[in-house]
Amino acid sequence: MIQISVKELTLVQRKIINSLIYIAQKTGNCEVYQTKVGLLKDLCNITTMGNDNIKKHFRELNDIKIEFNYLNKDKNNVWEVASLLSCARIIENEGTIEFSFAPFIKEKVLTPSVYTPLDVFLVSRLKSSYSIVLYEFLRDYLTSPVIPKLTIQNLRDLMGIKDNEYEAFKDLRKRVIDVAIKEINDKNDITCGYTVKKEYGNRYAFIQFSVKKKKEQEPFGTVSKDNLELFKESDDSVYKIPEEIYYMIPDRYRTNTVFGMISKFIEKGHDYVVSNIKYTLKNATANFGAYLNKALVNDYASLDREVETKLKVKKEKSVKHKADAEKKVISDRIKTEKKLEIIRQLPDKELEKLRKRAITTIKKESPGNEFALSDSLVEMKMADLHVADHEIEEYSSNDQD
């Protein structure tokens, strides 16, 4: 739910939708989800009495459409649009809220393929909607080797900034970017920064964010002295990994340590690396990185590749055998048609003699089988006998003597 193009979402609405996702994931698959009004208020840090504001937010969430997948992070996904919230109701005397998601949304919520887990309580501490959007975005890329470079328009769309707001970059930087960076560094579990780049005409065109996990001993609420400076690891820690291999690694394991480990074995070939990653994903019960390293070093997947190769060879043989059989059927059909064409040009007297011979031969070969004496089978036997008599298996239709 991070990389969505929704300009209408307010701060509270972002907190509400994150909380509803949290409740749905804890509950599992069902048509209608239920929670307590008090719990939703706690999750969203809502302090107002009564439910009028919550009703207003739910009405607006029901009208909002969201678009997947804004930055195309998931190469396997297609473009989708859906209502953010399908329906909701508040049962006042019970203090409960019931709600449901549209099928496309629920699919993303219950089986997320490229979406990152968030702590809704940490999100609830943020006071700026821009801080929430940026925190979600950066948290999504926390374990990735690099965060995608955004155009300034990408950033405006991601943040939900309207066309007539903060048109000058200095205002965008002061009122949106720096405010969000400071609040995130102040109140959350990550430290982040950014750099901007200009294009022709001295106009800011791109922004590159960076993020790292705060040290466990660094308490939330402190501000890093370099909170607006770019955090950048050394170039040696950023590795070029083939896209297919990159997306095989689950989000939570996409660290420089893992990618650095994989990069050492790229020269062994695509199948070597991919098979050992698959082996690790299937068998590792703990410490994914350590298990993957052992798998790559010792080639745990060698037997799997051998079995896969044998299956591939067997399949190729089967396909070839099927193709050869089909070719033979076609060849036999052509030969049969050629034989039939030849005998159909014979004089009636010769044809009748050939027919009698064919019937006699069939009765000897298949005694009591009336089906074998059908006109089509008799004609084919006539053709075979005529070819045998004249040794013209390979003759053309014009060679009749």
Confidence of residue 217 (pLDDT cuts 50, 70, 90): very low
Fold of 1-113: Arc Repressor Mutant, subunit A (1.10.10)
At residue 229, the pLDDT reads 34
Confidence of residue 65 (pLDDT cuts 50, 70, 90): confident
**316, pLDDT greater than 80:** yes
At residue 401, the pLDDT reads 47
**221, pLDDT greater than 70:** no
At residue 312, the pLDDT reads 84
List pLDDT tens digits, range 112-131.
655 556 666 667 677 888 88
Confidence of residue 304 (pLDDT cuts 50, 70, 90): confident
Work out the percent of the chain whose per-residue pLDDT is above 70.
82
List pLDDT tens digits, range 223-264.
333 333 332 333 333 456 777 788 788 877 877 778 888 988
At residue 224, the pLDDT reads 35
At residue 22, the pLDDT reads 84
> Is pLDDT larger for residue 106 or for residue 230?
106
> Is pLDDT larger for residue 125 or for residue 198?
198
Confidence of residue 177 (pLDDT cuts 50, 70, 90): very high
List pLDDT tens digits, range 378-399.
888 888 888 888 764 444 445 5
Fold of 125-232: Arc Repressor Mutant, subunit A (1.10.10)
Q: Model-level pTM?
A: 0.39
At residue 290, the pLDDT reads 86
At residue 230, the pLDDT reads 30
> What CA–CA distance (Å, rounded) separates 377 from 356?
13
- Chain-wide mean pLDDT for the chain? 79
Under DSSP, the state recorded for 176 is: I
Q: Between β-strands 80-83 and 65-68, what pairing exists: parallel, antiparallel or unpaired?
A: antiparallel
Q: Between β-strands 150-151 and 96-100, what pairing exists: parallel, antiparallel or unpaired?
A: unpaired
At residue 77, the pLDDT reads 57
List pLDDT tens digits, range 35-52.
988 888 888 878 777 888
* Mean local confidence (pLDDT), 198-206: 81
Q: Between β-strands 87-91 and 80-83, what pairing exists: parallel, antiparallel or unpaired?
A: unpaired
Side chain identity, residue 68:
F
If DSSP states are collapsed to H, E and C, what string results for 114-162? CCCCCCHHHHHCCCCHHHHHHHHHHHHCCCCCCCCCEEHHHHHHHHCCC
Confidence of residue 195 (pLDDT cuts 50, 70, 90): very high
At residue 32, the pLDDT reads 92
At residue 74, the pLDDT reads 52
* Mean local confidence (pLDDT), 361-378: 85
* Mean local confidence (pLDDT), 185-200: 86
Side chain identity, residue 61:
L
H/E stretch holding 6 reads none
Strand, helix or coil for residue 81 = strand
At residue 239, the pLDDT reads 55
**69, pLDDT greater than 80:** no
Confidence of residue 275 (pLDDT cuts 50, 70, 90): very high
Helix, strand, coil distribution of the chain in percent, nearest 5: 55, 10, 35
* Mean local confidence (pLDDT), 147-168: 86
List pLDDT tens digits, range 126-146.
788 888 888 888 887 877 777
